[in-house]
Amino acid sequence: MSTPAYEVRVADDPADREACFTIRKEVFVGEQGVPEDIEYDAYDAVAVHVLAVREDGTPLGTGRLLFGAAAAGKTDGDASVGSLGRLAVTRQARGLGVGAALVRAVEEAARVRGLTAVDLHAQTQALGFYERLGYVAYGPEFPDAGMPHRAMRRVL
């Protein structure tokens, strides 16, 4: 049996953005217990959101890129570094390469904006995933939304 094809695109229209938020609610709020009031923030309005969609239109995953002033608090103020966040893949799409495709789409959005690196705050259980994509952990472990995280960076 073949795996259904999917595409990853920048979520420019309102329906795509709403699909991104629905996936985040399902994964972060529903599965991981992140309080809904901290899952969505003011950065959603200025972020570049990416969306993976199966060929039949089913949303599979999402992620976002912060850059410029919006990323400053996550990149130690380095304007040449973007911040990847809110990466979420639906349960049925895990293991299909969707997460890696979303990371690459965020990196491409960063390149288009002239950024030289991408930082992220990874849940410690996901460190191996990001390491396989070229990210390197730095700094101590810290809590975020009640879960242990590490900062990571990939130079583009």
Q: What pLDDT is recorded for position 57?
A: 93
pLDDT above 70: percentage of residues in the chain: 97
Q: What pLDDT is recorded for position 86?
A: 97
Q: What pLDDT is recorded for position 134?
A: 98
In this structure, what token pair is assigned to residue 14? 């309102």
- Residue 1 in this model has a pLDDT that exceeds 60: no
Q: What pLDDT is recorded for position 3?
A: 55
Helix, strand or coil for residue 59? strand
Confidence category of residue 4, pLDDT binned at 50, 70, 90: low
Buried b (16+ CB within 10 A) or exposed e, 6-25: bebebbeeeebbebbbebbb
Q: What pLDDT is recorded for position 76?
A: 85
- For 60-87, the pLDDT digits (tens) are 999 999 999 999 988 888 999 999 999 9
Query: Is there a contact between 67 and 4 (Cβ–Cβ < 8 Å)?
Result: no
- Residue 27 in this model has a pLDDT that exceeds 60: yes
SS percent in the chain: helix, strand, coil, step 5: 40, 35, 30
Task: Give the residue, 150 or 73, on which the prediction is more confident.
Answer: 150
Q: What is the mean pLDDT of residues 146-154?
A: 94
Chain mean pLDDT for the chain: 94
Please state, in angstroms and rounded to a whole number, the distance separating the CA atoms of residues 84 and 48.
10
Task: Give the residue, 1 or 138, on which the prediction is more confident.
Answer: 138
Q: What pLDDT is recorded for position 74?
A: 87
